Structure 1
Amino acid sequence: MTVWWLLLAVLAVSWLLTLGLRRYALAKSLMDIPNERSSHSVPTPRGGGVAIVVAFLLALPVLTGLDLLSREALYGLFGSGLLVAIIGFADDHGHIAARWRLLGHFIAAAWALFWLNGLPPIELFGITVDLGWFGNILALVYLVWMLNLYNFMDGIDGLASAEAISVCLGMCLVYWFSGNLELIWAPLMLAAAVAGFLWWNFPPARIFMGDAGSGFLGVVLGAIALESTWLNSELLWSWLILLGVFIVDSTLTLIRRLVRGDKIYQAHRSHAYQSASRYYASHKRVTLGVMAINVFWLLPISLAVGSSMLSELVGVLLAFVPLILLALKFEAGAEERGSSS
């Protein structure tokens, strides 16, 4: 019963902190001002994602005290998430050069991998493959890419929050059906922390998440996924499938911009979700559409892979191919009209 009270406390702390952060941002004029690269038209307070960070990190030691989270996971999630959030918070208040942000991201990812014991052996086509140090390098790149892609995808009202909640709750179901109930508490607490913020961020948003929140969500989701892999390697594929909308849109957009020779560190509006929000003239329709894709398309595939009813490769292809076609339909990574490299 204690853990359910903790869940409610996390939700309440996040809600109240977001309210406080909104008032602070308004008082200090910490606003996102719309420009030609924005998907918004109204100046809006930013930095509300700090509420997610604080509410979730406060819950982690309690989970460990209740023997619902290992000390290794506590140290890995807490340290990496806190460092990424601090870097994002500093960048929200005053620009930090991209090279220093990236260095900090790699340090945070390495910290998480150290405590989570790196990348475990992965099962492919029924064969267990231990990639050793190369696997750890891949895991490091994966965590850094996860936190940055989540930052890239936080561009319209409610999208990053809705993605985190639907993915976390979806994975709780995967854990339930695959017999890994001991893993549900960290994603459940993260969903509660994000839900308290989403109350203020749902379209039309009254406060934005900011880099502190989006980067934090990316690295924490990536680390939680790696932790689950030590119990069952199929669970990593379930996570990647449920995160498919963000992975496909951000990766395809990055590749197309790299091929075109764009400066990838410059702000832009060429993600598929941004194009879709302009096409429908609605942030809410796109955010709800992504949630529908997660629940009705990606979740059943993720459940099938996590429960060994579908092979990993087939599951990933089944999930990602339609997402790639959808992203291309909405011109992910295409040059913005009226702009030049």
Structure 2
Amino acid sequence: MPDLPVWLLLHFLLAAAATQAARAYALRRRLLDQPGERRSHTVATPRGGGIAVVLSVLLAALWLAMLAAGKDRMLFGSFAIGLALVAGIGWWDDHRPLSPWLRLAVQAIAASILGWGLYQAGTGPWPALTALVMALVLVNVWNFMDGIDGIASSQAAIAASAYFWVLNGPWAALAASLLAACLGFLPFNFPKARIFLGDVGSGALGYTLAALLAVSLQTSSLAWPLLLLPLAVFLVDAGFTLISRMLAGERWWTPHVTHVYQQAAFRFGHVRVTGAYFLLGAVTLMLMLLLSRASLQSALMILPGCGLVLLALWLGARKGLKI
């Protein structure tokens, strides 16, 4: 594990500097998200700032791979390749919109590479398959939920903090690099966005969190349901919004503004909504920490209980917002 304060400062500064460079590049290339009926912002805003987070995490992964040996080196290499694929197709899409099915195909390849890396590391087929599924899920959840200022990067920072706490050695260092990179990017995206993550950033956040979750499931002493708690806020909003759109016969894969956080932002503003989601995420993080010694049986009740509370809040918000 590198010296933690130096490691955090390095990735914070790298992400901040790279975000500034990405903003200048986006303005020069006219890579702007325009306001519209399927957008939550009201002014044209540069996109693609998430390349800064990708750069920071990818450099961390490559450095840690060089320091690692054997199975860890292979797993870090698999993660780095998958991250480059997810970020690469997102970067391309930020420049020229692509078919959602092409993006999904590339994401599936990246998820398979992560699963293969875990399998080669000796985890067995089921953990590898779990990593593959979680990578596909979280890449798209973070893409769905990246719609207002600061929400995606702040939730990723909460989850990165959780996995830093439960992991050890080089994987804890990777979680720390993600946390620092999110904090380096956030001042450019919140409280008033000067640049958006773009698909390059939202997908990379989800993919990195999936890898950290997958390794945590294999190495942490915590009961596995607790490791899902820091992701629960996004999983509930994204998951149940997706289900509701499917049941309504809508084209669920197309952009929309029917998430609770999007509709709430129209009424209350981005800062308040991102702050509310941050508080909910912080509560799930604290629950994970406070209940870290809980047995598997207890954890199997805690996770659904937390999910039901979040679902009740989601349903109440939808009713109040008349979605």
Contact 1:174 1:306 survives alignment (8 Å): no
Letter in 2 for 1:187: A
- TM-score norm. by structure 2 comes to 0.91
- Residues 62-73 of structure 1 aligned to structure 2 (within 5 Å): 62-67=63-68, 70-73=72-75
Contact 1:275 1:330 survives alignment (8 Å): no
- Residues 98-137 of structure 1 aligned to structure 2 (within 5 Å): 98-117=100-119, 133=125, 136-137=128-129
Identical amino acids, percent of aligned pairs = 35
TM-aligned CA deviation for residue 288 of structure 1: 1.3
TM-aligned CA deviation for residue 140 of structure 1: 2.4
Question: Hey, what's the Cα distance between the residues in 2 that align with 1:207 and 1:233?
Answer: 39
Paired residue for 1:265?
253
Letter in 1 for 2:117: W
Question: Hey, what's the Cα distance between the residues in 2 that align with 1:166 and 1:289?
Answer: 13
Structure 2: stretches of 5+ with no match in the other structure: none
Paired residue for 2:202?
214
Question: Hey, what's the Cα distance between the residues in 2 that align with 1:278 and 1:40?
Answer: 9
Question: Hey, what's the Cα distance between the residues in 2 that align with 1:119 and 1:63?
Answer: 16
Q: For residue 219 of structure 2, give the secondary structure of its aligned residue in structure 1.
A: coil
Change (3 A) 1:182 1:211: closer
Paired residue for 2:83?
81
1:152 and 2:144 correspond: yes
Paired residue for 1:161?
153
1:31 and 2:32 correspond: yes
- The superposition leaves residues 273-323 of structure 1 with CA deviations (integer Å, 9 ceiling, x where unpaired) of 11221231x11111111111122x212321245433572211202321111
Q: For residue 330 of structure 1, give the secondary structure of its aligned residue in structure 2.
A: helix
- The superposition leaves residues 59-103 of structure 1 with CA deviations (integer Å, 9 ceiling, x where unpaired) of 123234455992133112211111000000111111111221111
Paired residue for 2:20?
19
TM-aligned CA deviation for residue 135 of structure 1: 6.0
Contact 2:131 2:211 survives alignment (8 Å): no
Paired residue for 1:231?
219
Question: Hey, what's the Cα distance between the residues in 1 that align with 2:257 and 2:202?
Answer: 17
Question: Hey, what's the Cα distance between the residues in 2 that align with 1:113 and 1:133?
Answer: 9
TM-aligned CA deviation for residue 324 of structure 1: 0.5
Q: RMSD of aligned C-alpha atoms?
A: 2.5
Change (3 A) 1:181 1:320: farther
- The superposition leaves residues 191-211 of structure 1 with CA deviations (integer Å, 9 ceiling, x where unpaired) of 111111111011211000000
TM-aligned CA deviation for residue 3 of structure 1: 4.7
- TM-score norm. by structure 1 comes to 0.86
Larger helix proportion, structure 1 or 2? 2
Contact 2:159 2:231 survives alignment (8 Å): yes
Question: Hey, what's the Cα distance between the residues in 1 that align with 2:122 and 2:192?
Answer: 42
